[in-house]
Every structure is written in structure tokens, then in C-alpha cells.
Amino acid sequence: MDSDNQSQEAKLSVGLEEFNFDIVPVIYEIFCSIEKDHHDNSAKTRESQDCSQKVLELQKRLDQARAEVNLLPGIQFSKEEQLNHLEALKTQLRLKQDLLQRHRFVSPFHKP
């Protein structure tokens, strides 16, 4: 039952390398369109509409990023819970390393 839970979480979780946070170009385009100084009202109106579209695109990408962040494994835990879990894993690692170190020098054919 626990392995079923883990397999479902693995399917839902997203690795950091799979994120698509491509928001910087959209922000740059918004800044560029704001900086333009138009003397013609029709050009200002057209740029304003373009800027509004770019802001909507940015909002869409930010919503997508939020959704992807929520898929990260462990995101549902608080910082303290994550730190406690990390400390427990470090303790397990130390214990297993010690156990391996002790058994490394034990001969598999113990002579009486």
C-alpha cells in the first residue's frame, strides 16, 4: 500500500530540471513597451493593448509556475518538518556507514 502511494507521488511530482519558468523574456517585453515614448495616440493605444496581452501572458506563466511548484515532493511539509526529516536521514546515513565500516573487515569465513 505504501509503495502504491509512492508510485502515485512519483508520477505527480516534478523534478526541478523539468520546470519551465520562462518569464524573464515576457517581463523584458513588458518593460520595453512601457519605456517607449509615443507621440501618436494610436501608437500609444496599440502599445497599451500589446502590453496588456503581455501582462496576461505573464500571469498565465506565473500560474503555471505555481502549479508546478505545488507538484514538488515535500512541498506540503513545513520547514521544521523538512529539517527534522533531513536530520533523520543524516542519522540513518551515519549509522549505515558505521555498519558498513564494521562489516568491511569481517571475514566471511570465520575460523573457529
| Under 8 Å between Cβ of 59 and 26 | no
Domain encompassing residue 85: 76-111
pLDDT digits (tens, 9 = 90+) for 8-17: 444 444 555 6
Pair (68, 93) in one structural domain: no
Pair (61, 99) in one structural domain: no
CB burial of 68-99 (b: ≥16 within 10 Å; e: otherwise) equals: eeeeeeeeeeeeeeeeeeeeeeeeeeeeeeee
pTM over 0.75: no
Q: Tell me whether residue 100 is in a domain.
A: yes
Count of domains in the chain? Answer: 2
Pair (81, 65) in one structural domain: no
Nearest alpha-carbon partner for 35 in 49, 47, 23: 47
Pair (39, 54) in one structural domain: yes
pLDDT digits (tens, 9 = 90+) for 34-43: 777 666 777 7
Pair (63, 83) in one structural domain: no
Pair (23, 65) in one structural domain: yes
How many other C-beta atoms lie within 10 A of the C-beta of residue 54?
20
